[in-house]
Structure 1
Amino acid sequence: MKIPVAEGGPISHVISYRDYLEGRIKRSAVRRNELTREKLKAATVRLLESGGYHEIPISTFCEEAGLAKGTFYLHFADKEDLVAQVLEEYTALQVKIMPSADGSKDAYAALIVLNSWFAETFCENVGLHRSMMQLSEAIPRITKIWTDFLKGLSARYIEEVQRWSNTTLDPEFATFVTYCLWGMLDQALYAIYAVKRNPDFERLARNQAYLVQSITLFQHRALFLENPEATFDKSVEGFLMLRGRK
């Protein structure tokens, strides 16, 4: 689906990977061999939305896909191979369709475009993000998928930081800064929508729009040492008043 992420800004392509795969399954042009693979991948996405990777046996993936268990091994070595391939394809697609912030009137508007897209994408595919973040701690192949995903996303952030900065940043420094700022949103989304470990934080974050607007404001202040020239909801006006002691 297509969702406007900022007034006057570009249209962001936010894709539910489950819907994307199920759409591919319905295409008459898909060959039988490919159809089996797509059914197993779609089943994987559905199952990861509601359950943990370790609790799902191969037989359940096959049952969810409507396939015999023996069919599984014609396409994947094991469930780690299946989940890794799903995550590889998912992350490659998201990096490819990440919106451009071209046309934004300032740095804040550009960051809103990127942050809004990522928040919507995360929530549409929360099971995949939760699995990727958790499994990256234990499975080297998925660690690499997660790392490559972060590199792909941060490249666009670095581009925007450089675009709006009056100083040319060292590439490694720009990457470090971007990872730090990116982590604000990524970890907040993970805590609220993926693991739900902190109901008090979820209450304070209010809703997705408030979360994105607040974190984008924090990012802008951290990067440019000033408030953006934008109209804000009263709910975040308190952040604009923060000043250091002299």
Structure 2
Amino acid sequence: MVDPAEKDASAAKVPGVAETSIFGFSLPEAMRAELEAAPKLSRSETTRRKLMIAAAELMQDSGFGGLKVADICKRANFAHGTFYLHWKDKSGVAHDVLSALMEAIRANRPQRRPSQSFYERLVDGHLYYIELYRRNIGLMRCQGQLADELDEFAAIGLKANLALAYRVLRAAEREAPSLADQPVAHRLAAALGCIAMVDKLLHDVFARGLNIGLSDRDLAATLSLSWHRVLLGQDPAPQVQ
């Protein structure tokens, strides 16, 4: 789940991923654009990035189960043995691709605008995440599937969600400083619950074809209102027209 509350200006740019707008990004497209725009790289690094792009494209199209080293090399136009100079098996490249996705989500979340309220930041973040999920549904499904099978993949999502939850809590405290007096564990559980709700809903929308009947803007506003009520205990102040 991407951070819908604030922009971490110190977030490191992920190699192979270009910065994007609020409307999200496709990881394979972003990695390819970054590689094309990068200054001269070593031959080894260029090869590694091309193999990662190929793996990301295949995972996006058909998931992890059907991923084969031979197919990655064929798509990247490298000899089969080249892959093993960088990873020992397909789990290794999948781990790096999904790690890059989580880092890119964090690094590219929308910037907070001057005088923007907590609710407005939530709306921007949810719009970003809705489009992000739409454009990376295959990779997002891989993350969930592999997290159920292997601890190393589960750790990627757990780390990202915990970091997000703490950032959201800090942003909520800036809106309502008295929240800091409440038990952290209770507020953390509430934030993680909000994150899980959005992940499950958007998975159902984009992976299972659930038709809610809302535009992206209306869905983002509805999710943001729910978060605001849960985290701050009240509705947002009326917006000045």
Same-fold call, TM cutoff 0.5: yes
Report deviation, 1:102.
5.5
Matches for 1:1-246 after TM superposition, within 5 Å: 12=22, 14-26=24-36, 27=38, 29-101=40-112, 103-165=114-176, 166-168=178-180, 169-193=182-206, 195-196=207-208, 199=209, 202-230=210-238
TM-score when normalising by structure 2: 0.80
Query: In the superposition, relative to structure 1, how do residues 69 and 136 fare at CA in structure 2: closer, same or farther (>3 Å)?
Result: same
CA contact (8 A) 1:104 1:110 kept: no
Query: In the superposition, relative to structure 1, how do residues 53 and 229 fare at CA in structure 2: closer, same or farther (>3 Å)?
Result: same
Query: In the aligned structure 2, how far is the partner of 1:90 from the partner of 1:172?
Result: 28
Report deviation, 1:172.
2.3
TM-score when normalising by structure 1: 0.79
Identity, % of aligned positions: 22
* Structure exhibiting the larger radius of gyration computed from Cα positions: 1
Query: In the aligned structure 1, how far is the partner of 2:179 from the partner of 2:68?
Result: 53
Report deviation, 1:212.
1.3
Worse-superposed segment, 170-179 or 217-226: 217-226
CA contact (8 A) 2:54 2:75 kept: yes
Worse-superposed segment, 16-25 or 53-62: 16-25
Query: In the superposition, relative to structure 1, how do residues 123 and 148 fare at CA in structure 2: closer, same or farther (>3 Å)?
Result: same
The superposition leaves residues 153-180 of structure 1 with CA deviations (integer Å, 9 ceiling, x where unpaired) of 2232112222222332333222211101
Query: In the superposition, relative to structure 1, how do residues 205 and 45 fare at CA in structure 2: closer, same or farther (>3 Å)?
Result: farther
The superposition leaves residues 47-83 of structure 1 with CA deviations (integer Å, 9 ceiling, x where unpaired) of 1222021112211111111111111111111000000
Report deviation, 1:220.
1.9
Letter of the aligned partner of 1:136 in structure 2? A
Worse-superposed segment, 175-184 or 161-170: 161-170
Name structure 1 gaps, 5 residues minimum.
1-10, 232-246
**Greater relative CO, 1 or 2 (CA 8 Å, sep 6+):** 2
The superposition leaves residues 172-196 of structure 1 with CA deviations (integer Å, 9 ceiling, x where unpaired) of 2222111011222121111111x21
Letter of the aligned partner of 1:181 in structure 2? C
Segments of 4+ in structure 1 off by > 6 A?
Answer: none
CA contact (8 A) 1:13 1:98 kept: no
CA RMSD of aligned residues (A): 2.1
**Count of residue pairs the alignment pairs up:** 216
CA contact (8 A) 1:62 1:68 kept: yes
CA contact (8 A) 2:28 2:57 kept: yes
CA contact (8 A) 1:15 1:124 kept: yes
